[in-house]
Amino acid sequence: MNRVFIDLTHLGRHVTGIERVAIEQFEKVRFDGAELTMIRARGVVSMILKQQILLPLLAFLYPRAQFAFPGFPPSPFFALIPGRTILYVHDTFLLTRRADLSTKARLYMAPQFAIAVRHLKRFFVNSEKTARELAEHVRPDARILLYRPAVKNHFGLDASERFRSAAKPAPLKIVSMGTVEPRKNYAAALAILDEIRANFDSDAELHIIGRSGWGHEGAAIAEHPGVTVHGYLAAEDVKAALEAADIYLCTSHDEGLGLPLLEAQFAGLPVAAPDQPVFREVLAQSGTFIRTENPAEAASAITALLSTPGSRQAWTERSMRNVERWNDLADDDFRSVRTIFAEDDRGFANTAIEGRA
C-alpha cells in the first residue's frame, strides 16, 4: 500500500463548500492501493506550522509517500517533488481575480498557488471550467483530472411540500448562500430585489446565508430594505431558510463550481444564476440564466418564472433530475481517479528531491 498524507489543516469550525469537498472526496473515500493519513490543525498558527514545516518534514521522513492538498495550496517545498504531490484546484482566482482576494489570500495563498501551478504535475479540478482555466498556467506535461464533487443532501432538505405552495408567492422569498465578500456581487442581488419590490412585489425578501468575509459591504447589505443577512447558520437553520424560499439567486462575478446551487436543488428550488459557462455546466436545463448587469430584466425573468401555472412542480422536477445528472458525472470521475495514488510515477520525483538534497 502506498502511503498518502492528506492536508486537512484548513478544516475549521465552519464547514462550507471547500471544506465539504475535502471531507467527502478525500477523508470519506478509499483510493485503490493507498493508505491515507489525515493531517489536521487547530487554529491558524497550527495550520501554518503544519503546512510549512510538518508536511515537508514528512516528505523527507517518508521518501516514497505521496501528498494531496484538497484545500490550501502546498508549501513551496513541494515544487521539488512534483510527482509525489497532487493539488485539488477549486478555482484559479488566486491568479486571475486578485482584486477579489482578501489581504491574507494575496499574501499567503496566492504566491504558493502560483508556484504549485507552475511546477506540479498532477491536479484534480472540480469542473470543466476550472480545468480549462488551469490548463493555461500549468507545465506542458501536467495532468489535469476531473474530480467533481458529488452533491449530497447535507441539510436534510425536503421538496415534497413545494408542490402545495401558492402559485404566486406573497411575499416572494429569495435566498442566496455564500460568504459576504465582493466576488459574490451581492450588489447585483440588491438591485434585482429593488426592481422586484418596485414593480412586482413590494414586500419581497432577500435572505443571505453566509459568514462575513473581507470588504466593507456587509453592513450596507444588512441595512438594505427587504434584506436579512443571517450569517453562518447551523444545518437545521439552513434547511428552514431554503425550504421557506421561492427561488435561489446567485449573482457571483465568477465561481469555480457553485456547489451551493446544487445543494439548494434538494429543496426543489428553481435557481437563477448569471449566464456564464460554469453555471450552465452545473445547472444544465434546470437553471434560469440572467444578466446581472440588467436588474430589471433579471427581475422580470424571476417573477415570470414563479408566476407560470404549474411552475413549482416543473422546476422541482428539473432540480431533482439535475442533481441526479451531476452525481452520475461525479461517480464517473471517481472511478477514473481512484487509482491515482497507486500509480508508479515517482521515479522522477525521487530523483528531483535527491538531486537537490
Q: For 282-298, what is each residue's pLDDT tens digit? A: 999 999 999 999 999 99
Distance from C-alpha of 138 to C-alpha of 259, rounded to nearest angstrom = 25
Inside any domain, residue 41: yes
Residue 131 sits in the same domain as residue 179: no
Distance CA 144, CA 131 (A): 7
**65 lies in the same domain as 202:** no
pLDDT of residue 356: 30
CA distance 57 to 67: 12
Average pLDDT over residues 61-75: 95
Mean pLDDT of 32-60: 95
pLDDT at 352: 36
Q: DSSP letters along 177-216, please?
A: ES-BSGGG-HHHHHHHHHHHHHHT-TT-EEEEES-B-SSS
Give the count of domains, the chain.
2
Residue 155 lies in a domain: no
Give the mean model confidence (pLDDT) for residues 185-189: 94
CATH number at residue 41: 3.40.50
> 145: pLDDT confidence band, cut at 50, 70 and 90?
very high
In this predicted structure, the answer to whether residue 348 has a pLDDT above a threshold of 50 is no
Residue 159: predicted pLDDT: 84
Give the global pTM: 0.87
Provide the pLDDT for residue 168.
66
Query: Nearest-CA neighbor of 246 among 268, 231, 276, 279?
Result: 268
Mean pLDDT, the chain, as a whole number? 89
Q: What integer pLDDT is reported at residue 160 of this predicted model?
A: 80
**Is the residue at 345 inside a domain?**
no
pLDDT recorded at residue 357: 27
Long-range CB contacts (within 8 A, 24+) of 309-317? 309/167, 311/167, 311/270, 312/162, 312/163, 312/165, 312/167, 312/268, 313/162, 313/163, 315/268, 315/269, 315/270, 315/286, 316/159, 316/162, 316/163, 316/268
How many Å apart are CA 205 and CA 197, to the nearest integer?
9
Residue 337 lies in a domain: no
Residue 352 lies in a domain: no
For residue 82, give every residue at least 6 positions away whose Cβ sits within 8 Å of its Cβ, in sequence order, or none: 119, 120, 121, 122, 349, 352
Q: What is the mean pLDDT of residues 213-222?
A: 75
pLDDT of residue 79: 97
Q: Is residue 209 part of a domain?
A: yes
Whether 351 is in a domain gets the answer no
Distance CA 8, CA 37 (A): 10
pLDDT tens by residue, 158-184: 888 776 655 567 799 999 998 888 889
- Residue 336 φ then ψ, to 5°: -80, -30
Domain membership flag for residue 356: no
Residue 212's domain comprises: 160-326
Q: Which amino acid is at 161?
A: E
In this predicted structure, what is the pLDDT of residue 181? Answer: 85
Calpha distance 298→249 (Å, rounded): 10
Assess whether pLDDT exceeds 70 at residue 22.
yes
From 260, 76, 302, 265, select the one nearest 157 (Cα to Cα).
265
If one compares 118 and 349, the residue with the highest pLDDT of the two is 118
Co-location of 127 and 198 in the same domain: no
